Amino acid sequence: MMISPVIAQDQERSLALQYYQNEDYERAAEIFERLYDKEPGSNFLYRYLFNSYILLKDYEKAEKLTQRNIRRNRNELNFIVDLGYVYIQSGQSDKAKSQFDRALNALTADERQIRSLANSFNGIREYSYAAETYIKGKELLNDDKRFNFEIAGIYLRKDNFSKSISFYLEHLRHNPNQIQQLKNTLQFRLEEENLSRELRQQLFGKIQQHPQQLVFSDMLVWLLIQNKDFSAAFRQVRAIDRRLNEDGKRVLELAQAASAEEHYETAIEAFQYVIDKGRDFRHYRSARMGLLSAMKDKLISSLDYTSEDVEKLDEAYAEYLQTFGTNRNTISTVLERSEIHAKYLYDLDRAVNMLEEVKKLPGIDQQTEASIKLQLGDYYVMRGNVWDASLLYSQVEKTMRNNPMIEEARFKNAKLSYFRGDFEWAQTQLKVLKSATSNFISNDAIELYVFIRDHLALDTTDTPIRMYAEAELLHLQNRNEESIAQLNLINEVFPNHSLAPDIALKIADIKISQREYDNAMQQLEYVVMNYPEFVKVDKALFQLGYVAENYAKNREKALEWYEELIINHYGSIYVVEARKRFRSLRGDFN
């Protein structure tokens, strides 16, 4: 049976491609030559044959091939670029430039031809010529709106931020609906200070030139938020809100973002701005809720609050709930208030009663009910009702199928097994949670799993780790002096034990919760100085930096601790936050 010419040609093409992929360019070129002679109009065959010649460094054949195609295709300027590329590869840069200029000079008012030529220059990394092609194309088409985005992208690749931003913003002026595309383009390079600074300066200029075009103000707000300059971002959104007589939605979103990033002063000011618009505005209640949350987070993250401060905050929560009632819309506020009573006013019974009551509200969705149970379970643990807590966590596990909350419930149950000294069962649960979808759960599960595994493997008895787990539970229950006594007892009964740095870290945690910061720093410095290879030394460094920054007000020392963490423990989960705090202390966002 005879094979048809078409099938034979397809087989040859497949063989040539196989040779090419196997880097046998000589055999590939031989076949591509035969095929191209039969089908000289095939761009596919031309490109593989041309590339084969270049890879073989057979520049004479490559030159003849391109010259032949230039004669046959007067309007296809990419062949002229190919000829220039041959000269580049063969070391004839002057002749290459001559061909690139020739192609550029031959350009006509044809958008397809303009884009094709620019792509050809981009393909061989002749970015300056690619930009020139688009710029000349704008002139030929007499359309200043055209190609700005493409030109900007080329200058961005060349790190010419001034020109790049200029063209991007000009594109945005004519295409405000493409603001998200521009944000996505610049997102991953904003860490480069020169680009971020240039973008900020040019945006301010555009806002002055085109005050009616809101897109530049929106872009500036986005940039300021990316740079964590929430104070400046607030000034911008407030100005927009006032100019357009809006309902505060922009300001509310900014306040929520600032609160999430722990910029509480700005968040509180922004929430208050929305509240001051009055109860008739639709974002009033949301702003009130956000204000309470920001006030709470600001208070507990500070290092010098008093019991009077906590009581005053609780009064603000009570006033809010009295105004809006206890219902499905205010459950999150009740949960926050219960946390204040459980952890900061040390009134566990009141906290439990709040959640028991809110759990009875009709029409609560499954997600909210699970949140209530998880928090209530935590309070039962703090109160010593471990089995009741485990029951609540298990209920969440059973009801919240295909929901991340199931992982949180499982981790809490695994932690209870650890507290009870049932290390084998705890490890079984933690092993599953190591691949949890939540990074927080996964990281915590891995850390606890490794902690149990390593210390059980090192000891002939589980008594030290059992005592340590009991001390952790005591700390969780606010029985801090008993916890410290238990930790010190481990050091006494088992001197120089492998748990020593963990014990120092845990005592530091307790001292921080008691606001005994000098003692906390002593424990942390002990870990850093004596256990440089300790797996949690990164946590000690971060806490040292945090306490030095926020309590000791020692900026230089804080910078020193953060820098050591960033440089020597770059894989640490604390590095992102440490870098943010380091840059803030250094004044990068001023």
Q: 242-251: per-residue pLDDT in tens?
A: 999 999 999 9
Is the model's pLDDT at 382 over the cut of 70? yes
Q: What is the mean pLDDT of residues 231-241?
A: 95
How does pLDDT run across 414-459, given as a tens digit for each residue? 999 999 999 999 999 999 999 888 888 998 999 999 999 998 887 7
What is the model's pLDDT at position 297? 94
Q: What is the H or E stretch that residue 564 is in?
A: helix 555-568
Structure tokens at 317: 């929560």
pLDDT of residue 2 exceeding 50, the answer is no
- Report the phi/psi class of residue 452: left, alpha or beta, with left for phi > 0 and alpha for psi in -120 to 50: alpha
Render pLDDT for 121-137 as a digit per residue (tens, 0 to 9): 999 999 999 999 999 99
Q: What is the pLDDT of the chain when averaged over all its residues? A: 92
pLDDT digit string (tens) for 151-206?
999 999 999 999 999 999 999 999 999 999 999 999 989 888 899 999 999 999 99
> What is the share, in percent, of the chain residues with pLDDT greater than 70?
98
Token pair recorded at residue 385: 């009702």
The mean pLDDT of 62-83, rounded to a whole number, is 92
- What pLDDT shows up at residue 590? 53
**Maximum Cα interatomic distance, the chain, rounded to a whole number of Å:** 98
**Residue-level pLDDT at 509:** 94
Q: Is the pLDDT assigned to residue 293 strictly greater than 90?
A: yes
For 378-385, which contacts have Cβ atoms below 8 Å and span 24 or more sequence positions? 378/342, 378/412, 379/338, 379/342, 379/348, 379/351, 379/352, 379/355, 380/352, 381/416, 381/419, 381/473, 381/476, 381/477, 382/342, 382/348, 382/476, 382/477, 382/478, 383/348, 383/352, 383/477, 384/477
pLDDT tens-digit profile of 109-122? 999 999 999 999 99
Nearest to 395 by CA among 409, 381, 407, 376: 409
How many Å apart are CA 193 and CA 188, to the nearest integer?
12
Compute the distance between CA of residue 397 and CA of residue 374 in angstroms, rounded to an integer: 10
Q: Residue 7: which pLDDT band, with cuts at 50, 70 and 90?
A: low
* Cα R_g (the chain), whole angstroms: 33
More confident call, 228 vs 164: 164
DSSP 8-state code for residue 176? G
The closest alpha carbon to 393, from 380, 382, 377, 405, belongs to 377
Q: How confident is the model at residue 1, as a pLDDT? A: 41
SS3 for 385-439 is CHHHHHHHHHHHHHHCCCCCHHHHHHHHHHHHHHHCCCHHHHHHHHHHHCCCCCH
Give the model's pLDDT for residue 305.
Answer: 85
CA distance 36 to 140: 35
Helices (H), 143-283: 148-157, 161-174, 179-187, 193-209, 214-226, 230-244, 249-260, 264-275
pLDDT at 589: 54
| pLDDT tens for each residue of 305-325 | 889 999 999 999 999 999 999
**CB contact at 8 A, 413 and 394:** yes
Residue 411 to residue 165: CA distance in whole angstroms: 47
Distance of CA 129 to the CA centre of its chain: 36
Res. 392 pLDDT band, cuts 50 70 90: very high
The whole-angstrom separation of Cα 32 and Cα 20 is 10
Residue 19, amino acid: Y
CA gap 367, 484 in Å, rounded: 37
CA 314, chain centre distance (Å): 33
pLDDT in tens, 486-545: 999 999 999 999 999 999 999 999 999 888 999 999 999 999 999 999 999 999 999 999
How far does CA 449 lie from the centroid of its chain?
26
